[in-house]
Structure 1
Amino acid sequence: MDRPVVACVLAGGTGSRLYPASRSDRPKQFLALDGEESLLARTMDRTAFADERYVLTRASLADDIHEHAPEAGVLIEPDGKDTGPALVYAAWRLRERFDEEPVLVCLPSDHHVADDGAFAARLERAAAIAVKTDGLVTLGVEPTRPATGYGYIVPARSDLGGDGAYAPVDRFTEKPDRETAARLVDAGAYWNAGVFAWTPSALLREARESPLAPLVSALEDGDPDGGFDAVESVSVDYAILERATDAVVTPLSIAWDDLGTWDAVGRAVAAADADDAGNDPVVGGVLSIDATNNVVAAPDSHVSLLAVDDLIVAAFDDRILVAPRDAAQRVRDVVARLRERDAF
C-alpha cells in the first residue's frame, strides 16, 4: 500500500438491545461478552495492521475509550446521529491529519469474529480495493441462515470466490422478512456487516450528492456543529451507499456475528464452548433441568432453569430481563419505555 491505512472504529452507541448489561453509563463496547477483553479492546486488536487507529465516539465516553484502547486516537462527534453523519465527519477530520490522503477502514466495535488474523487480512484487502477503484467498498458476510436482523447486499455478479474478488453492488436490501431473506440467501446475497473501506475524498464526493450534503458544506465552512444540526439521523448505508454509483462488495468469508442482541451473544458463546445442558450461558452460574437453548447472563447471581426453553435471562445490578429468545430485537422496546420514565 503506497498510502497510510487508518482504522476508524465506531464506538459511540449504547447497545440498548443488550439491556440490562448495557446502560447509558455502561455501553456494550466496554463489556466483555465473548471473551475476557471488552468488545472494543478486541476490535482494536484486529486493527493492529493499520498505520494509525482512531475511535469515533461521543464526548461522555472519551475518557473510558482511553482505558480500552490506549493506543488509539479519539475523535468526538458533535452529536449522535447514526453512522452517516459520523463517518462523513470522521472522513473530513482524518483527511486533515495526513499529508498524503489515507485510506480508511471503518468498522463497528461490537462484532464477534472467529478468526482475527483472517479478518485483518480481509480488511487490508478491502483497503487495497478502495484505492484501486476509488470507490466505496463494503464487506459482505456469507450468510449461514436467512437472518431477518441484518441487511443484505446483492452483488451484480456471483463469481466472487477469489481472495481479491469484488463486484459492483446491484442493490442493498434492509432487514427483510424470513421468506425474503431465504430468497436472498439462495440468490447469493451477502449480509451487510457495516464494515467499509474508502478514501476520505471518495466518501465526501458521494456525500455531496446525498442527504448529508449540508453537513459536507458546513464542514467546508468550519462549522461541524451547524452541519450536524442541519441533517437528520441516518445510516451511511441509506444516506450514501444505496445511492452511490461506485459501491462495490467484497466477501468477508469468515464466521462473523453482530453482537447486538442477547440471541447473537448466545450464538457466539455457544460456538466457542456450548454448555452441556444445551443452554448458552454467557456469565454467571446456571443450574439447568430439562431446559434448552436459553441464554443466561447473570454475573453476580446463580440462575436455576426448570423446564423452560428458548429464553433470555439477564440480571445486572438491580435489573432483570426475561424474554423469549426470538424477541431479542425487541429489547430496545423495553429501553424506550424506561427512557420515557427516566429509568434507563
Structure 2
Amino acid sequence: MDTVALLLAGGTGTRLYPASRSDRPKQFLTLDGERSLLRRTADRVGFADHVYVATREAYADRVRDIVPEAGVLVEPAAKDTGPALAYATHRIREQVGSCTVLCLPSDHRVDGDFEPTARTALAAARDGFLATVGVEPTRPATGYGYIEPGAAHDGYREVAAFHEKPDADTARRYVERGWLWNAGMFAWAPDAFLAAARDGPLAPLVDALDAGDPERGFAAVESVSVDYSVMEATDQAAVVPADFDWDDLGSWDALARVRDTDADGNAVLGDALAIDTADSVLASDDKHVTAIGVENLVVAAYDDRVLVVPRGESQRVRDAVRELRETDLF
C-alpha cells in the first residue's frame, strides 16, 4: 500500500506578523535556517511514495517553486483544516487509490529522526485508526491542545480524550498526568477518514466531493478544524508519542526556543544591537533594530511594519491581525 505525505500550506501564520503577511505566509519563511519551513517539511518526508501540498490559489505557484516534486491541490476556499483535509484526502484517493495518508502542517520545526514516529502512525492507520502524533510537553503550555492517552497498542495508544487549550493551572495538571501536546500531525486511510467526516459537520462537503462538485461542498460548510469536526468525535482515534523534539513556531516567543541566544538570553534574527537588554526577541528583514534597557520584549520589524509586544503576550498578535484585516492592512 502506497504512502502519501500531504503537507498543509494554506494558512498565513497570523501570530508571526509582521514577518508573516497575507502575501508572505509563515510556511514560506526561513525562521530557523536557510530553507523555508515548507521545504524543510518536504525534505522530512522523503520516505513517502507520493508528496502532495494543499494550499490556496494565491500560494500555488510559490508552492510549485519550493516543492517541485509535489502534486499541488488548490482548495476552493480557505475554511480551516477540516474542509482542507477532507478535500485533499478525497482528491488523493481519486488519484492514488488505496493508500495511507500522512498529514503534516508545513510550518513546524522537528529535530531528530521523524521517520520512525511517522511509520508508526501509518501502521496505526493501516490498523483502521485515525492517528495523531502527541508530543511530550516540555512546559505547561496554554497554547496547545492536549491528548489523554488510553489503551495501549503496539507503538501507539488509543485516545481516551482530547482536551482544548487550557489555562495555566490546568496545563500544569495535564503535564503532571502525562498527557501529550496535540501536534496537529495525522495519519489515516482515506476511506476511514472520509467515513468519519461524513458523520459530522463535513458531511455536505463529502457528499459534494463524491458528486464531483467541491465548490458546492465548500459553500455548504463552515470553517472548522479537523480536530473538532472529525478527531474529537470519532471512536477510532489513536495517538503515537513523538520520538523527536518539536515546536510549532506559532508565535514570536518560540524563536528563543529554536535559535541560539546570547549571554543575556536574547534571540536575534537579522541585524540587531542589544544593550542592557535581556530575554528578548529582536527580528527584522533588511532593517537594523536597537534595543536598550528592556527585557522580555519582542521587537519585529518587517517591510513598513514594526511590532512591539511583551514576550509573554506573543499570542495576542492575532488580536492585532484581526483588526488589521478589517481595514485590509494585513
TM-score w.r.t. length of structure 2: 0.97
Q: Report the Cα distance in structure 1 between the residues aligned to 2:67 and 2:216, rounded to whole angstroms.
A: 29
2:285 to 290, 293, 299: 299
1:119 to 90, 99, 114: 114
Aligned residues: 330
1:186 to 176, 192, 198: 176
Match in the other structure for 1:150: 144
CA contact (8 A) 2:285 2:303 kept: no
Partner amino acid for 1:114?
D
Q: Which runs of 5+ in 1 are unaligned?
A: none
Task: State the SS of the aligned residue for 1:23.
Answer: coil
CA contact (8 A) 1:287 1:305 kept: yes
Task: State the SS of the aligned residue for 1:97.
Answer: helix
CA contact (8 A) 1:138 1:195 kept: yes
CA contact (8 A) 2:120 2:156 kept: no
Residue correspondence of structure 1 range 14-163 to structure 2 within 5 A: 14-99=12-97, 101-115=98-112, 118-131=113-126, 133-157=127-151
Match in the other structure for 1:165: 155
Q: Report the Cα distance in structure 2 between the residues aligned to 1:290 and 1:4, rounded to whole angstroms.
A: 56
Task: State the SS of the aligned residue for 1:292.
Answer: coil
How far does the alpha carbon of each residue in 1:210-262 deviate from its partner, in whole angstroms, 9 at most, with x for none?
11111111111111111111111000000111010110111003210011111
Match in the other structure for 1:320: 306
Q: Report the Cα distance in structure 2 between the residues aligned to 1:22 and 1:98, rounded to whole angstroms.
A: 33
CA contact (8 A) 1:10 1:57 kept: yes
Q: Report the Cα distance in structure 2 between the residues aligned to 1:85 and 1:267, rounded to whole angstroms.
A: 32
CA contact (8 A) 2:272 2:283 kept: no
Q: Report the Cα distance in structure 2 between the residues aligned to 1:193 and 1:181, rounded to whole angstroms.
A: 15
Runs of 4 or more above 6 Å deviation: none
CA contact (8 A) 1:139 1:192 kept: yes
TM-score w.r.t. length of structure 1: 0.94
Q: Which runs of 5+ in 2 are unaligned?
A: none
Task: State the SS of the aligned residue for 2:60.
Answer: helix
How far does the alpha carbon of each residue in 1:50-72 deviate from its partner, in whole angstroms, 9 at most, with x for none?
00100000011100001211111
- The percentage of aligned residue pairs carrying the same residue is 56
Residue correspondence of structure 1 range 238-317 to structure 2 within 5 A: 238-269=228-259, 273-281=260-268, 283-317=269-303
Q: Report the Cα distance in structure 2 between the residues aligned to 1:276 and 1:286, rounded to whole angstroms.
A: 15
Q: Report the Cα distance in structure 2 between the residues aligned to 1:322 and 1:227, rounded to whole angstroms.
A: 41
Superposition RMSD on alpha carbons, in Å?
1.2
Match in the other structure for 1:199: 189
Task: State the SS of the aligned residue for 1:138.
Answer: strand
How far does the alpha carbon of each residue in 1:172-220 deviate from its partner, in whole angstroms, 9 at most, with x for none?
0111001111111111110000000000001011011111111111111
